[in-house]
Amino acid sequence: MNYAQIITETDEELQRVEKKQKLVQLQNRLRFLFLLKSGAAKTQAAAGAAVGWKLRQSQKVWRLYSAGGLAEVLRQPRRWGFGKLSSHEIARLHNYTAQFGADSLTEVRDYLEQACGVRYTIGGVSALCARLKIKLKTARSANALKDVVKVEAYKKTSGS
């Protein structure tokens, strides 16, 4: 396959666009195309290896270029937020846990389903809480035999 004829952009144009890119992923894609266009690499596998890819990734980028040209290669992947929740729903979840202190992951899951209309598994709720740094708090157990009157008297006399 003659990549020099198939790739319509010039070598200089590919290098200029590559230098403007901030994401390494997009820089590597342009370097891959440059290697094919300039003839420094004869095959997709060789150009991919020079960039640090395996054959499958090279084929994927070539398929993107064949389908949509340089614009498709430079299209950035869509970034998602925290799973299924918007930032407003995340703030509401933080407020709920701060105000009511959820006792279990099941309770958080039920809240998300009722308030936000989003269904999570228990594992998904656990991962969500870990990402959002929400720690479920459980109270320490109290001694059943303690004398409340003596505890109050101690508090008054100890100065604490």
The residue type at 139: A
Q: Give residue 135's pLDDT band: very low, low, confident or very high (50, 70, 90).
A: confident
Residue range(s) defining the domain that contains residue 31: 3-74
Q: Look at residue 138 in the predicted model and tell me its pLDDT.
A: 66
Residue range 68-84: mean pLDDT, rounded: 77
Give me the pLDDT at residue 143, please: 84
Q: What is the rounded average pLDDT of the residues 118-127?
A: 91
What's the pTM? 0.52
Between the CA of residue 73 and those of 41, 60, 65, 68, 152, what are the distances in Å?
19, 10, 6, 7, 71
Predicted pLDDT of residue 45:
95
Kindly state the average pLDDT of the residues 64-77.
Answer: 89
Has residue 55 been placed in a domain? yes
Asked if pLDDT for residue 136 goes beyond 80, the answer is no
- 148: pLDDT confidence band, cut at 50, 70 and 90? confident
User: Considering only CA atoms, which of 105, 101, 103 is closest in space to residue 128?
Assistant: 105
* Shared domain check, 64 and 21: yes
Is residue 109 situated within a structural domain? yes
Are residues 92 and 59 part of one domain? Answer: no
Q: Total domain count for the chain?
A: 2
* Look-up of token digits 């009722």: 114
The verdict on residue 94 lying in a domain is: yes
Shared-domain flag, residues 59 and 112: no
State whether 63 and 91 are in the same domain: no
Q: Is residue 67 located within the same domain as residue 118? A: no
**Looking at the predicted structure, is the pLDDT value of residue 96 above 80?**
yes
Average pLDDT, the chain: 88
